[in-house]
Structure 1
Amino acid sequence: MAEHSSQRRDKSPGISSWFVHGTLVIGLISAFIAVFIKSFQSSSPPVLHKYTLGTDSGICQQVPKLSPRNKQVEQYVREKVDSEEYQREIINKLSAIIRIPSESYDDLGPIGEDDRWNVFFEVQDYIKVNYPTVFENVALDHANTHGLILTWEGSVPPSEAKPILMLAHQDVVPVLAENVKDWTHPPYEGHYDGEIIWGRGATDDKGYLISIIESLDLLIKSGFAPKRTVILAFGCDEEISGENCGRPISDFLHEKYGDDGIYLIMDEGSTGIQREFDQSFALVSIAEKGYLDVVINVSSTGGHASNPPDHNVIGILSEIVVAIENHPFPGKVTPNNPMFRFLECGAIHAPESRFPMAVRRMLGPAAQNDSFSQEQLARTLDDMRYYFQTSQSVGKINGGVKINAIPETASIMVNLRLAVETSISQVMAHYESLVSPIAKKRGMAFGGFHSPCSLTDKRKVCMFGVDALEPAPVSPVDAEPYRILSGTIKNVLKPLAPEDSLIVTPYLMPANTDTKFFWALTKNIYRFTPVNLVENLNRAHTTDEFIRADEFVREPLFFASLILNADDIVG
């Protein structure tokens, strides 16, 4: 407002002057107010204004629906997917592959040595038998035996038209024998009750696997010949790390196509179509949180329990646990987080009465990096806290072997999922600042993450980092592949949001997928499952995992349309 201060008079007018020149004064005041309002609206920062303009704000702009140019092929796929015969067939295929208990375990030995890997031969055989047309037209490569790579060569070289890559995984989370009784239908029966397909892997991730291979089968049978190469890759150990199949698949493709050699990667998403703020959203995850397991070991001398020290290793370790839990990582909602874009989309497209005004008011300052507003916004959205802050969970504890012996060592493991704004080094520094003073107070030596440390050291606190993964790069939403994906979603998935328009929005994946190995292959990595995911991802990883049949049977139409739309832009 400084530019208006020179218009102010050196002396205030007397009362008589107000009466004589009242009309002029009122006019000046009106002009001043108009200028003030205009200046406020155009000044920086516009705290609330731009989040009340709706689609005129330019925020969360939506692309129009995108339909493939090849109407004959599109019509063939649509008619197939809509036919009752086809729907029965694809439901039976999913039920049958669910019956193969392709569980992956944390303690699996190397492929070729541990017989528990052999179940993946059954998965491969099943796919080959049920999709002969696909395997007559694709090249099949193996990565470390059980990683499957199916390449449908396009007519245009990859150097001119980068391939599209679709990922899925064959493995599922184990079902404990004692929990089988809790399932409505046995976990490996693949039961279909006329509405729902039940079983381990129905959603995570065999439904996705069947859908993307079905999309190739339909396109091949339609007579479509791609210009852009299409690649399907199926991992065997996504649920335990991906090191045995996910990484070898990535290495194989990187050697073949090089840095930035892939046009677009699609993988499963932790979210699909969901209704928030009384508005339907297609939630496309454009990033993943980071990952770190921290091991903290406390060692000391042992002895007889009749002559204990004031604080033995279990007591000291307990102090450390309390310190960790009493010092959680702060939450901040920043523009670097894809969830900020989701909130912007909600502010613009959700019914005004359904989007919290408190959130709307804080978005403007938060967008301009006002730290207080970013922290306050995170507190306001506390039920979504772990989309905005690093989570920490003490998941394992070990110590002591006999009740009358002073334990010589005790340890814990802490699982952390890193917020997109942080880094492994920052998390490690935070933990060292918490644990080092406790070690010093108890007269213990301290070994941080980068210090030499042996579990045989006595009177020492040691820290180790395991399975460290930085937060994933944020994929662009202003890039051509994202626009094609958005247009395909608009065109195909509208039936999943019959009440209103379907808004495509960026989102964050709080867990990790095999895409963590593929960062060098492309910036355009998107994680999205084209169904309504409800009840904790359709109860994936827990009892009664399921997928709705009427949504599942249309997934191949989505993936086939995406392939066609990506092919249309090839010259």
Structure 2
Amino acid sequence: MSLREGEPEPSRAVSKLQALVRIPTVSNRDLALVDTAAFDDFVAELARQFPVLHESLELTRIHTHGLLFHWPGASDERPVVLMAHLDVVPVEGTWQHPPFSGEIVDGQIWGRGTLDDKGSLVAICEAVETLLERGFTPAQDVWLSFGCDEEVSGEAAPLAVEELVRRGVRPWFVLDEGGAVASQAFPGVAAPIGVIGLTEKGNTSVELRVEGRGGHASTPARMGPTARIARAIVRLDRAPMAPRTPDPTIELFRRMAPHGPLALRPVFANAARIKPLLTRALLAAGPETSAMTRTTFAVTTLSGAPALNVIAATAKAGVNIRIMVGDTIADVLTHLRTVIADDEVHLDVIESCEPSPVSPMDDAFALLESTITEVFPDAVPAPYVMMAATDSRFFTGICERVYRFAPFRMTLTQRQSIHAVDEHLGVDAFVDGVRWYQRLIERIH
């Protein structure tokens, strides 16, 4: 790879990512279980790896280890916020390479956080460091907001928003993790799709709970707590919420049309006119595409009696719900009560978040997609509805243009490694991501 003047130096950027992946910044909802020393080490190492950034930009510490950097531009009329997070999920399973090693094997950087989300964090910082070394000043103020508890829906992002409000900052646009330059994005579509999240599903968790008398397992009664919970789960599984195909998904398929199988190109191109047909096709294609069309319910935890010979006095089932754009938390709770149809099953809302507003496809979006086209000329930029939750949802209260895109080429296998085993990011893909952030900052107007 030949470098143009002013582009990031690959080996320097890669070694920085390796150093930061090696620090196990695993977050936990219980702060007592968080290895605070690892987060301290990460913040210190970040300062060592990016000295010019830390010397040149004003830093405000947020919550425990959140970081908010301010880079003054030529104007503060349309500030931009670039986001990432430094925490990661725990490691489980057997990995091909140690999960906190940052090893480079077969042109891939292996380790927890390479994709989610230290890759983006380091790429942003390296882009800024490179530009600062050149004496570059952005056209608008740039804020770097790095959360420390994104994986547990923590406090850092809301507190960062509070700090921006206190300073009177109303961003022109906000960019967080989310989409990618995704290959194998849809069966039969050869071109990689540069998917930019215009919105994200709401993330709500509800616990189903049934109380009873309990007692000895030798004298069970019909329809005790565990039986009622089991029946509620089966009823919920058999009665999903109504599907729909939102506008960002329609536009995604319209843009994929020229690159899809010949037989499907007319379907993709006319997606807006055949919404019901497209929705049925997505439902039939499998769980991943089905999730693009409806609110989903996943029963994730179950609990009953503390011993095999004890009848449960309380039985519980945890349900994680990803709420589609167009549905609300109130709709979800009504659906649960209606399909479970049992007053003995209590609904306890553990956490709740509505779907994010849909961001416009205006000049800010055009800037993102044209930068994708410049750095990834074979990719098709397109909007989509993000299934997972990001810290950016907290910024929708102060900014109408909140987008979700990580500028890395990712295969299907790589996307499946997020929160799973063998998370890895290609060396060349990472360097291209650094270059993408740099070009984005240079092109802000």
Q: What interval of TM-score do these two structures reach, taking the shorter chain for normalisation?
A: over 0.9
The Cα shift of 1:518 comes to 0.5
User: Does structure 2 retain, via aligned residues, the 8 Å contact 1:263–1:522?
Assistant: yes
Give the Cα–Cα distance (whole angstroms) in 2 for the partners of residues 432 and 299 of structure 1: 17
Is residue 342 of structure 1 aligned with residue 226 of structure 2? no
1:539 aligned residue (404, 409, 417): 417
The Cα shift of 1:377 comes to 4.3
2:382 aligned residue (487, 505, 509): 505
Is residue 557 of structure 1 aligned with residue 396 of structure 2? no
What is the match of residue 521 of structure 1? 398
Report the AA paired with residue 164 of structure 1.
Answer: V
Question: C-alpha deviations, 1:418-460, integer Å up to 9, x for none?
Answer: 111211111100101122x3x3xxxxxx3xxxxxxxxxxxxx4
Question: C-alpha deviations, 1:219-253, integer Å up to 9, x for none?
Answer: 11112122311111111111111x23122112111
Is residue 309 of structure 1 aligned with residue 228 of structure 2? no
SS of residue paired to 1:207: helix
The Cα shift of 1:321 comes to 1.0
The Cα shift of 1:380 comes to 4.9
SS of residue paired to 2:167: helix
2:315 aligned residue (402, 410, 418): 410
Query: Structure 1 pair 377/363, CA: closer, same or farther in 2 (3 Å)?
Result: farther
What is the match of residue 27 of structure 1? none
What is the match of residue 37 of structure 1? none
Give the Cα–Cα distance (whole angstroms) in 2 for the partners of residues 213 and 473 of structure 1: 28
1:232-311 pair list within 5 angstroms: 232-241=144-153, 243-258=154-169, 261-275=170-184, 276=186, 277-311=189-223
Report the AA paired with residue 489 of structure 1.
Answer: I
Question: C-alpha deviations, 1:173-224, integer Å up to 9, x for none?
Answer: 1114xx3xx2111111110125111111111111111100111111111121
User: Does structure 1 retain, via aligned residues, the 8 Å contact 2:255–2:269?
Assistant: no
The Cα shift of 1:374 comes to 5.8
Question: C-alpha deviations, 1:69-124, integer Å up to 9, x for none?
Answer: xxxxx95323xx3xxxx212211111111111111123334xxxx66223211111
Report the AA paired with residue 130 of structure 2.
Answer: L
What is the match of residue 241 of structure 2? 329
Q: Which has the larger radius of gyration?
A: 1
1:164 aligned residue (73, 80, 83): 80
Structure with the larger helix share = 1
Report the AA paired with residue 326 of structure 2.
Answer: E
Out of 402-411 and 224-233, give the one that drifted further. 402-411
What is the match of residue 28 of structure 1? none
SS of residue paired to 1:150: strand
The Cα shift of 1:361 comes to 5.9
Give the Cα–Cα distance (whole angstroms) in 2 for the partners of residues 334 and 270 of structure 1: 17
SS of residue paired to 1:279: coil
2:13 aligned residue (90, 94, 107): 90
The Cα shift of 1:310 comes to 1.9
What is the match of residue 74 of structure 2? 155
SS of residue paired to 1:128: helix
Root-mean-square deviation (Å): 2.1
SS of residue paired to 1:76: coil
Give the Cα–Cα distance (whole angstroms) in 1 for the partners of residues 388 and 277 of structure 2: 26
User: Does structure 2 retain, via aligned residues, the 8 Å contact 1:264–1:524?
Assistant: yes
Give the Cα–Cα distance (whole angstroms) in 1 for the partners of residues 386 and 336 of structure 2: 24
Give the Cα–Cα distance (whole angstroms) in 1 for the partners of residues 58 and 270 of structure 2: 54
Query: Structure 1 pair 216/400, CA: closer, same or farther in 2 (3 Å)?
Result: same
Give the Cα–Cα distance (whole angstroms) in 2 for the partners of residues 464 and 267 of structure 1: 31
Query: Structure 1 pair 300/402, CA: closer, same or farther in 2 (3 Å)?
Result: same
Give the Cα–Cα distance (whole angstroms) in 1 for the partners of residues 415 and 283 of structure 2: 25
Give the Cα–Cα distance (whole angstroms) in 1 for the partners of residues 179 and 350 of structure 2: 24
User: Does structure 2 retain, via aligned residues, the 8 Å contact 1:138–1:152?
Assistant: yes
Q: How many residues align?
A: 438
What is the match of residue 40 of structure 1? none
Give the Cα–Cα distance (whole angstroms) in 2 for the partners of residues 346 and 227 of structure 1: 33
SS of residue paired to 1:417: strand
TM-score, length-normalised on structure 2?
A: 0.93
Give the Cα–Cα distance (whole angstroms) in 2 for the partners of residues 390 and 488 of structure 1: 32
Query: Structure 1 pair 148/354, CA: closer, same or farther in 2 (3 Å)?
Result: farther
User: Does structure 1 retain, via aligned residues, the 8 Å contact 2:254–2:268?
Assistant: no
1:463 aligned residue (337, 347, 350): 347
SS of residue paired to 2:208: strand
Question: C-alpha deviations, 1:266-312, integer Å up to 9, x for none?
Answer: 11124324354223321111110111111111112233333321221
The Cα shift of 1:168 comes to 0.6
Report the AA paired with residue 139 of structure 1.
Answer: E
SS of residue paired to 1:414: strand
What is the match of residue 359 of structure 2? 475
Structure with the larger strand share = 2
SS of residue paired to 2:78: coil
Give the Cα–Cα distance (whole angstroms) in 2 for the partners of residues 147 and 415 of structure 1: 27
Query: Structure 1 pair 226/290, CA: closer, same or farther in 2 (3 Å)?
Result: same
Give the Cα–Cα distance (whole angstroms) in 2 for the partners of residues 402 and 188 of structure 1: 37
After TM superposition, what 4+ stretches of structure 1 lie above 6 angstroms from structure 2?
none
Give the Cα–Cα distance (whole angstroms) in 2 for the partners of residues 404 and 380 of structure 1: 43
What is the match of residue 428 of structure 1? 333
Specify every segment of 5 or more residues in structure 1 that has no aligned partner in the other structure, as ranges.
1-73, 367-371, 440-445, 447-459
1:548 aligned residue (412, 426, 439): 426
User: Does structure 1 retain, via aligned residues, the 8 Å contact 2:254–2:271?
Assistant: no
The Cα shift of 1:375 comes to 4.5
SS of residue paired to 1:317: helix
Query: Structure 1 pair 404/418, CA: closer, same or farther in 2 (3 Å)?
Result: same
| Identical amino acids, percent of aligned pairs | 28
Query: Structure 1 pair 304/130, CA: closer, same or farther in 2 (3 Å)?
Result: closer
What is the match of residue 492 of structure 1? 375
Give the Cα–Cα distance (whole angstroms) in 2 for the partners of residues 538 and 222 of structure 1: 38
TM-score, length-normalised on structure 1?
A: 0.73
SS of residue paired to 1:316: helix
Give the Cα–Cα distance (whole angstroms) in 2 for the partners of residues 362 and 507 of structure 1: 14
Specify every segment of 5 or more residues in structure 2 that has no aligned partner in the other structure, as ranges.
none
Report the AA paired with residue 310 of structure 2.
Answer: A
Give the Cα–Cα distance (whole angstroms) in 2 for the partners of residues 359 and 561 of structure 1: 31
